Structure 1
Amino acid sequence: MVVTIQQLMQWKQQNRPIVALTAWDFLFAELLDKAGVDLILVGDSLAMVALGMETTLPLTMDAVIHHAQAVKRAVKKALLVVDLPFMSYQESPQQALQNAGRILKETGANGVKLEGGYPVMAETVERLVLAGIPVLGHLGLTPQSVHQVGYRQQGKTKEAGERILREALALQAAGAFAIVLEHIPAELAKEITAQLVIPTIGIGAGSFCDGQILVTADLLGFSNRQPPFVKLYANLQETIGQALQEYCREVREGKFPES
């Protein structure tokens, strides 16, 4: 079954949790798609996971398109969404339209994700949606604002929580099909989820969201910089490291190949 935006909306009404993860190449995209992940995000986190950058900020349009094209070749069922990189949409709605349109045309993705909310970003979302480009919003901890907000939990005060709620409502009114809520208090995520008719997808935002997303490298144990809200489902860095060391040892000892 191919996942659609309409299904995400139906699943919210049915209380069927949405499963989302990130991918940055063909191999991981194929694994995620076959495992039954509903939404695959080519996130700007690939800047750190795949390209070794310190933050998401240096990622370019060309780089994200390159990786998204590889991911798309593997995805058969999941809804595919691609992050708009830093400064590819903040300048103006027209800039966002051109770059979002380029992503859809060159990658075959189903939609784009951008960070931020009311009021400026809501205008941008509305412009994209009017042009037929589905938009996934992103509120709370927004990594492209790392120099401004850091990696701290957001929305902890009453005023900050009310602002995030207003932004979520503004993004919904602008036409966003869902919103990622990152690293905010669970009770705030619960309130936002209850007030929205579109799905919320949490990352470090508690169990009350309509779905969950993590950076795949984090849950598989590849990352050395795991956020506190990540559950480690495997330690593949250790497993793969041991396999590689064994290969090196057997070659040096003349045990591989056997003949």
Structure 2
Amino acid sequence: MSGRVTVYDLLSRKGQSKWLQMHVDNGPEAAAAVEAGIVILSCDPDHTLVAVREAAPTALISAGMLHGSVSSPDEAIREGFAILKRGADTVYCSHSPRFIEAMAREGIPVTGHVGLVPNWAAWTSFRAIGKTADEALKVLRAVKDLENAGAATIEVEVVPVELADYITKNTPMITMGMGCGDVCDTQYLFSCDVLGTHDGRYPRHSKKYADFMALEAELQAKRVEAFRAFAAEVEDKAYPQPNHEVRMNAAEFEKFTARAQTI
């Protein structure tokens, strides 16, 4: 689609479109994502948001409010508007629904989060959430709490496909699915997993489409090789050569040295 993607675009096409979504870490990744047809991006609010917005002016950007960065609904409102001013379209918030409701009442589009919520992992551990009927009902209640608070979109992470499908079909919010099969409104992954930029654990739901760690190791080896070649040529007096130098005309240098004696 042409023009900047908006929350209205997502909500008005609920159930009609499968949107691609990527969490990106910098401007080049954002530009690459948009060029590849990925028009929903997420990023951190402080260090990457401005660069991501500049690189992807037409994308819908959800920027995360750091968990614990606000301690009251009023602070959430101020921080939410500040994040929008820096270029975000929605504010991701893993705080309680009262924070989300306060922002939503002021017209701030908010993205909530259910299922495996890393900021709440002390209570759940890092695992699939909602595999039993009782736990699935807890997830659904959390969805309804966020819906009633006024959230526009909701990240649904690592819940069973059946539960994610039920949630998607029974909420007006846009569901952003990660590790939930293909039933949510968006298909969401992190660029670091897609590009293979780290040597840590890759989640089961992720898929590595490139190996940037290997590429970076190759680049680092090339850096060392080039620096060693430079050092060796300096040692052997092979660098610099005349074509790397600037020389004065002999007559001008003679004038310079004569006058330099008076300084």
For the superposition of Structure 1 and Structure 2, which TM-score range results when normalised by the shorter chain?
0.7 to 0.9
Q: How many residues align?
A: 231
TM-score, structure 1 normalization: 0.82
- 2:14 is paired with a residue of what secondary structure? helix
8 A Cα contact 1:182 1:204, kept in partner? yes
Is 1:38 paired with 2:13? no
Contact (CA 8 Å) 1:178, 1:201: kept in 2 or not? yes
Query: Secondary structure at the residue paired with 1:80?
Result: strand
Residue 86 of structure 1 corresponds to 67
Is the contact made by 2:15 and 2:185 (CA closer than 8 Å) also made in structure 1? no
Deviation at 1:27, TM superposition (A): 2.0
Kept in 2, the 8 Å contact 1:36–1:78? The answer is no
Residue of structure 2 in register with 1:49 after alignment:
none
How many angstroms does 1:251 deviate by?
4.4
For the 8 Å contact 1:93–1:124, the answer to whether it is kept is yes
Shift of 1:252: 2.7
Distance 1:176 1:79 in 2: 16
State the Cα deviation string for residues 79-118 of structure 1 (Å, max 9, x = none). Answer: 01110101124x322221122122222x1211101126xx
Kindly report which structure 2 residues correspond to 1:1-259, keeping only aligned pairs within 5 A, or say none.
Answer: 1=2, 2-14=4-16, 16-43=17-44, 64-89=45-70, 91-105=71-85, 107-115=86-94, 121-224=96-199, 225-253=201-229
Q: Distance in 2 between matches of 1:221 and 1:192?
A: 31
Quote the Cα distance in structure 1 between the aligned partners of 2:197 and 2:157: 21
Q: CA deviation at 1:253?
A: 4.5
Q: SS in structure 1 opposite 2:221?
A: helix
TM-score, normalised on structure 2? 0.80
State the Cα distance separating 1:250 from its structure 2 match. Answer: 4.6
Query: 5+ residue gaps in structure 2?
Result: 234-238, 242-263
> Which residue identity is paired with 2:220?
L
**1:105-141, Cα deviation, whole Å (9 max, x unpaired):** 2x1211101126xxxx333222111111110111111
State the shift of 1:200 in Å. Answer: 0.8
In structure 1, list runs of 5 or more residues that go unmatched: 44-63
Quick one: percent identity of the two aligned structures?
Answer: 30
Return the index of the structure with the highest Cα Rg.
Answer: 2
Equivalence for 2:245? none
Whether the 8 Å CA contact 1:11–1:17 is kept in 2: the answer is no
Structure 2 letter corresponding to 1:8: L
Q: Report how far residue 169 of structure 1 moved.
A: 2.0
Q: 1:204 Cα deviation (Å)? A: 0.9
Shift of 1:179: 0.8
Q: Say if 1:13 and 1:204 are closer, same or farther in 2 by CA, change over 3 A.
A: closer
Give distance in 1, aligned partners of 2:211 and 2:47.
Answer: 28
| Residues in 2 aligned to 1:28 and 1:100: alpha-carbon distance in whole angstroms | 24
Partners of 1:33 and 1:76 within 8 A in 2: no
Cα distance in 1 for partners of 2:53, 2:186 equals: 22
Which contiguous aligned blocks of 4+ residues in structure 1 show a shift greater than 4 angstroms?
Answer: 253-257
2:77 and 2:160 map into 1 onto residues whose CA distance is 32
Change (3 A) 1:86 1:76: same
Q: CA RMSD, aligned part only?
A: 2.2
